[in-house]
Copies of this chain bind each other. A is one copy, B any other.
Amino acid sequence: MSQDINLRVSPRTVQQETVNTLRQAIFSGHFEPGSRLVESQLCTQLGISRPSLREALRSLAAERLIDFVPNRGPSIPNLTWGEVTAIYEVREMLEVNAVGQCSQRISKEQLQKLKKSLVAFEEAASRNDSLARITTTEDFYSIILANCGNPILEEIHRGLVARISLFRSRSMSLEGRAISSLAEMKAIYEAIASGNEAAAKSASRKHILKAMAAAKKAMEATG
């Protein structure tokens, strides 16, 4: 075997599909925070068996995307502001480093892609499309994280962001948040493009602090 490229077309299993579907549903706010997920209902809705569903739920529970209380079953976590803060703090520790490392190692092509995603966000910010704002922001960040050189950092960051996805989408709908977010992201991009690590880290830190403040505002507004 001259190469050991993974040619395996990994088969989509019911479990994987279910996890992805539920994850998406949670992200999109399809379930009310705090609400219980009734297994039998989900089974019929998803068209799968209970064992398969429960396996998927255990996966999501391990990711902390759902809670599992014995004899009460699965439910959507109701995050306190304290927990959200804690998540943002950890996210800051990781993201700042990721941005810094990214600024030192990103390739020309990837930088091009990053630029593109920034333009896409700018476009989404000008319109009033909050879904597009979220997805383009996610693109922007996933490119940075994919180029920080540390797949574990990338993985953990993704997990953290997933847990606060609701707050992010809410705060992105806040009056003026998209505009200032755009400015912050531009600063990050410029610093990365010029290979200035210190500036990149600093811009990243500023962005997260503002995002956290916006999330707090959004949380207070919604309860």
Contacts and interface: CB of A to CB of B under 8 A. Distances in A.
Interface of A: 10-11, 13, 15-16, 51, 54-56, 58-64, 69-71, 83, 86-87, 89-90, 93-94, 97, 150-153, 155-156, 160
Q: Taking the full assembly, how many copies of this chain does it contain?
A: 2
Contacts of A11: 70-71
Given A86-B151, A90-B156, 4 more contacts: A90-B153, A93-B93, A93-B153, A156-B160
17 contacts: A11-B70, A11-B71, A15-B58, A51-B54, A55-B58, A58-B62, A61-B62, A83-B152, A86-B153, A87-B152, A89-B152, A89-B153, A90-B150, A90-B152, A90-B153, A94-B94, A152-B160
Contacts of A151: 83, 86
Contact of A150 (B61, B70, B86, B156): B86
Contacts of A160: 152, 156
B94 A90 contact: yes
Contact of A59 (B10, B59, B86, B155): B59
B13 A70 contact: yes
A175 B113 CA distance: 49
A60 B97 CA distance: 28
A93 B97 contact: yes
A69 B16 CA distance: 11
Contacts of A87: 152
A54 B54 CA distance: 9
A177 B58 CA distance: 38
A151 B13 CA distance: 34
Contacts of A58: 15, 55-56, 58-59, 62
